[in-house]
Amino acid sequence: MRWAKWILPALLALNGVVMMLAPAWWYPRVPGVIETGALNEHFVRDIGAAFIACALAMSWAVRDPVRGLGAAVAAAAFLCLHATIHLITPFCGPKPWPLLARDFPAVFLPAIISLLVVWSCVRRQKVKA
């Protein structure tokens, strides 16, 4: 199970790389994205860069929990703020629950896992102290 801790950084990196290299391919394939408006390749690449930064930060935290705590907090902040937007937006429409269920695996779950990574790093800090 030691490999399981690398799933989040790997998925964040994969998503970010695809967003940066093939935004027009990525855009219609992610459920709900086309409902947000027209494709803006520059904007998709910008967000892809944020996902790659999160992947690097989470990788550092997984590899070295004591020194990577700050990076994990920054990555978790982005992922949780992103999830907050996806939590609020569905309630502006008539049927929020299907949208929340749709977004759970790719938006809410990574945010939750990122918080678990931060918590794990904090626990390691306390053990080292």
Question: Residue 88: which residues within 8 A CB-CB, separation 6 or more?
Answer: none
Question: Residue 27: which residues within 8 A CB-CB, separation 6 or more?
Answer: 33, 34, 39, 44
- Tell me the C-alpha distance between 93 and 99, whole Å: 10
At 11-64, the pLDDT tens digits run: 999 999 999 999 999 999 999 899 889 999 999 999 999 999 999 999 999 999
At 71-102, the pLDDT tens digits run: 999 999 999 999 999 999 898 888 899 999 99
